[in-house]
Amino acid sequence: MSAADLWNGNFTPLPAILAAHAAERPEAIAVVNDNRSLNYRDFNALVDQVAASLQRDGVLPGQTIAICAATSTEYLATFLGALRAGVAVAPLAPSSTPGQLLTMLEDCAARIVFVDHDTVRPAGADAMHGKLVNLEGVFGGDPFAIWLSKPASRPAAITIDPESPFNIIYSSGTTGAPKGIVQSHAMRFGFARMLAAYDYTPATVSLISTPLYSNTTLASVLPTLSVGGTLVLMKKFDAKRFAQLAAKHHVTHAMLVPVQYNRIMALPDFDGYDLSSFVMKFSTSAPFSGELKADVLERWPGGLVEFYGMTEGGGVCVLEAHRYRHKLSSVGRPVIGHDIRLIGEDGNEVPPGEPGEVVGHSKAMMTGYHNQPGKSADAEWFDSTGKRFIRTGDIGKFDADGFLTLVDRKKDMIISGGFNIYPSDIEFVIVQHPDVLEAAVVGMPSKRWGEAPVAFVTPKPGRQLDAAVLAAFVNGRVGKVQRPAAYEFLDALPRSGIGKVLKRELRDRKVNVE
């Protein structure tokens, strides 16, 4: 069967679709990384080598390898080679501490750990369990080129069950404790098909600027390879470099997180880059302000689509911002076949128009948290018929047209003097000040009120902020109970690798308030 037939038919493992593209369009470019390009024939052959090498080393279907490295062609080939051998992949964040790495590696029982120069040195080889292979061929582990089996090596054929594990993605969110989210091949296939509907074709060129350990990134990588398009890889995001690569390679698609859009749109020479080749841009993973969406729509060619969902799966909302410009403050409406509801503290659904915790059900849901049945149960909600939903921890509200607007994270809600305070309401006001770049509000212990909001603020480059002046600006625009008890100024807010503000690190600062 052709690659198109495999892709448009029932479930087919991604490595099989990749092989079909290599047979049909061997000279088409699959991956571009710096000044190196690999066509589908050569990239598929490298994937074969990885799969054969894993089988040679006795890694069996259903077992796991881990990858802790920066984005590269070798990283991507290792990921796909493992899948071709029926092996699950645990992509780990290079920013993890040695202790976090040890916890995750013990949990997934990785048979082989793939690293690079930048990750193995600070983490220390003693934090790595199992055999080490260095993708860059330098200090720490067997060099990748030597570990690989001979060129033209072919792995033994493996039948992949749709429900077998594709990956274990560790998502600590912003709470700190790693949880391994097990996703199946069928789930990944379904998600890739859903995203590919946004004008992915063999002519697609996707610029990958978020790290490969992120679910956000895979949401762009998988549909591109599935349709036979081209991936342009960035090892590390830089706004100016992104714009240069996008213009050079005539990029058509990109998945970015909101902080990346903010930095790109802030480039002084943004309007000088030829981005006319863009067909579609995507965003997910963090709050995306309506003002920033409007700026992207005004100045950046191509459509803009925001996805709201979780790595754990459950339900997805989509906002096609270029079509619904009057709904930019929302995250869109549920995808067809995705059942999203709102529940209260008592576990019952809330009345129409009322805010509640967002829960979702779809065919694309995690099997559970790896080796953590208690946390898996905590993440679930069942309706009166026994239908299983995944809890998001987000507070949201539907409007009359069925668009969902997020109010805040449930765990971030501040209870001060018996009043519920949503930090996002205060943050929205703070960033209206002309000298403020970004802000995050968290609850701090207060003897008087139980909790009180404290604002952490980053000024715009070259601007100065005064706490009293900013407080006067904010206090006139929020209710009395919403007024921050203190302001702390930072050069930058702490963020995860995909741009989420790490509010736990802000809470750890323990600012004293009355």
DSSP track, 79-102: HHHHHHTT-EEEE--TT--HHHHH
Strand locations in 275-413 (E): 280-283, 303-308, 317-320, 333-334, 339-343, 356-361, 368-369, 380-382, 388-398, 404-409
Smallest CA-to-CA distance from 420 within 340, 344, 514 is with 344
Look at residue 448 in the predicted model and tell me its pLDDT.
Answer: 77
Distance CA 69, CA 109 (A): 18
Look at residue 312 in the predicted model and tell me its pLDDT.
Answer: 84
Residue 111 main-chain phi, psi, to 5 deg: -75, -35
3.40.50.2000, 1.10.1040.50, 3.40.50.9100, 2.30.38.10: which CATH number matches 309-408?
2.30.38.10
Other C-beta atoms closer than 10 Å to the C-beta of 326 total 8
Cβ(70)–Cβ(236) below 8 Å: yes
Residue at token pair 């668009």:
403
- CA torsion 498-142-153-108 (nearest 10°) is -50
Domain ranges in the chain? Answer: 11-179, 309-408, 413-507
Strand locations in 86-174 (E): 88-91, 112-115, 131-134, 142-143, 165-170
Smallest CA-to-CA distance from 71 within 236, 293, 274 is with 236
For the chain, what is the largest distance between any 2 Cα atoms, rounded to a whole number of angstroms? 71
Residue at token pair 């088409």:
28
Residue 276 main-chain phi, psi, to 5 deg: -70, -15
Look at residue 122 in the predicted model and tell me its pLDDT.
Answer: 47
Distance CA 499, CA 210 (A): 9
Consecutive 10-residue averages of pLDDT for the chain (514 residues): 89 96 98 96 98 98 96 98 98 82 89 88 54 84 92 94 94 61 92 93 97 92 97 96 98 93 94 98 88 96 95 90 97 94 94 93 87 89 95 93 89 78 89 94 86 94 94 91 94 86 88 81
Name which CATH class applies to 413-507: alpha beta
The CATH classification number of 11-179 equals 3.40.50.980
Residue at token pair 């109010």:
407
Q: Is 109 exposed, middle or buried (0-12, 13-18, 19+ CB in 10 A)?
A: middle
Contacting residues for 389 by C-beta, under 8 A, at least 6 apart: 314, 315, 339, 341, 359, 360, 361, 380, 381, 382, 383
- DSSP letters for 275-308: -TT--EEEE-SS---HHHHHHHHHHS-SEEEEEE
What's the pLDDT tens digit per position in 196-231?
A: 999 999 999 999 999 999 888 999 999 999 999 999
Look at residue 252 in the predicted model and tell me its pLDDT.
Answer: 98
CA-to-CA dists, residue 392 to 191, 333, 358, 396, 488, angstroms: 18, 16, 6, 10, 29
The pTM is what?
Answer: 0.82
